[in-house]
Structure 1
């Protein structure tokens, strides 16, 4: 049976575009208040004006250690509570490992892995004190199988899969649910880094999904009764051949 999100407050990272924006819209439509976390202040200003008073901007650069550490306290100053944390921000690297420079590897791992772990760590005391909360992480189907054309990205998502599964077991006794959504290829700016041939084939074969499909999965996870945890939901395009 679906539970209401009315009165709930969510914080979503990477909320100014793609899956983060689609999930913001879905949660607002479900009655939640959403703190939109992103480094793009201009986009947040425009979107919060468009989406209304229940959309609140939080400008944070997750790659800056001090900014990242300030995120949860600043959100709590603005809205007083965080019922849902959706760690969605991420980036992508494709191609052979030797084609990638080490600075780009550092940036991706810091955003896809380190920032997620730090954001989750920072929200735990607040959720534990209240005895309730939901943490959802955007992972990938690449976190469940080795994808040979994206070893760094796939490695980051395998790390997140392990993190989510361990944190679920640490936090469930505190009333906090932890799960991940693992989409296949999603129509977003991240696909600009895909190998051109793979992207062409995916487009021709209809092997892409829209961000709204992932947002629907997140909404489903969050609206289950508290005795149910969706640990991982894999959402694939029907024609995705992997």
Structure 2
């Protein structure tokens, strides 16, 4: 039997990169998936690739209305929700003096608020079934501050604190909360906002499919085991 047979997962930020790879990896292990992001055409192609075990909702992951619509789609189509992958996020690597208040708000919405509204939406259903897995895709930038990443690091530190608090709050209800802290991944993330396509291609960053397998592992543990936090780095 596949590791996640019968499970239903929501993946935010699923139109590209790690989110897309994660949706494919979860589906390959038997999970039904509801994917969301702002780029509808990419979501449509992803769902076509997965097949009947997938559905999509296009929208901004930082909005309550998007979280509610995605949850409703999961319940209507598949009847339950077992896994939430809070993957939506944004990178913008700049010096503080070059960062605008609007950029700060946008990054906090993408990296922190999105996880809040989606976790808040699914938690009552997971509590009712006394089981569930919530995974936050944080970053090594949430573990140590770095120059030219002050706002990004702030958002990732906040994400880790939120995940740790949720772990304590939801564990009595049989719900596991995990924060994954990867290093660089070879995706379009932050290209044009501190990274270039060339620098990413020439790096030893992780492949998104490799990290997606770590997410599958986290979601496949026996009921009595959990991973509160994990740091994942490439060999470079």
Fold equivalence (TM over 0.5): yes
Matched-pair contact (CA < 8 Å) for 2:13–2:61: no
Deviates more, 1:63-72 or 1:151-160: 63-72
Give the match for residue 209 of structure 1: 206
Deviation at 1:173, TM superposition (A): 0.6
Give the match for residue 21 of structure 1: 20
CA-to-aligned-CA distance 1:84-139 (integer Å, 9 cap, x gap): 01010000110101111211111110111011111111111000001110000100
User: Which ranges of structure 2 fall in alignment gaps of 5 or more residues?
Assistant: none
Query: Secondary structure, in 3 states, of the residue corresponding to 2:191?
Result: helix
Aligned alpha-carbon RMSD (Å): 2.0
Give the match for residue 129 of structure 1: 128
Deviates more, 1:70-79 or 1:9-18: 70-79
Give the match for residue 36 of structure 2: 37
Q: Does 1:235 align with 2:232?
A: yes
User: Which ranges of structure 1 fall in alignment gaps of 5 or more residues?
Assistant: none
Q: Distance in 2 between matches of 1:177 and 1:63?
A: 22
Matched-pair contact (CA < 8 Å) for 1:3–1:223: no
Q: Distance in 2 between matches of 1:191 and 1:60?
A: 20
Q: 1:104 to 1:68 in 2, by over 3 A?
A: farther
Q: Distance in 2 between matches of 1:101 and 1:217?
A: 35
Query: Secondary structure, in 3 states, of the residue corresponding to 1:191?
Result: coil
1:220 corresponds to which of 210, 217, 220: 217
Q: 1:125 to 1:213 in 2, by over 3 A?
A: same
Deviation at 1:4, TM superposition (A): 2.4
Deviation at 1:203, TM superposition (A): 5.4
Query: Secondary structure, in 3 states, of the residue corresponding to 2:3?
Result: coil
Deviation at 1:196, TM superposition (A): 5.4
Deviation at 1:69, TM superposition (A): 4.2
Q: Distance in 2 between matches of 1:155 and 1:42?
A: 32
Matched-pair contact (CA < 8 Å) for 1:94–1:193: no
CA-to-aligned-CA distance 1:135-172 (integer Å, 9 cap, x gap): 00100010101111211111100001111111101111
Matched-pair contact (CA < 8 Å) for 1:217–1:233: no
**Equivalences, count:** 235
Deviation at 1:194, TM superposition (A): 5.2
Q: Distance in 1 between matches of 2:70 and 2:195?
A: 36
Q: Does 1:172 align with 2:171?
A: yes
CA-to-aligned-CA distance 1:173-198 (integer Å, 9 cap, x gap): 1010000111101111113145459x
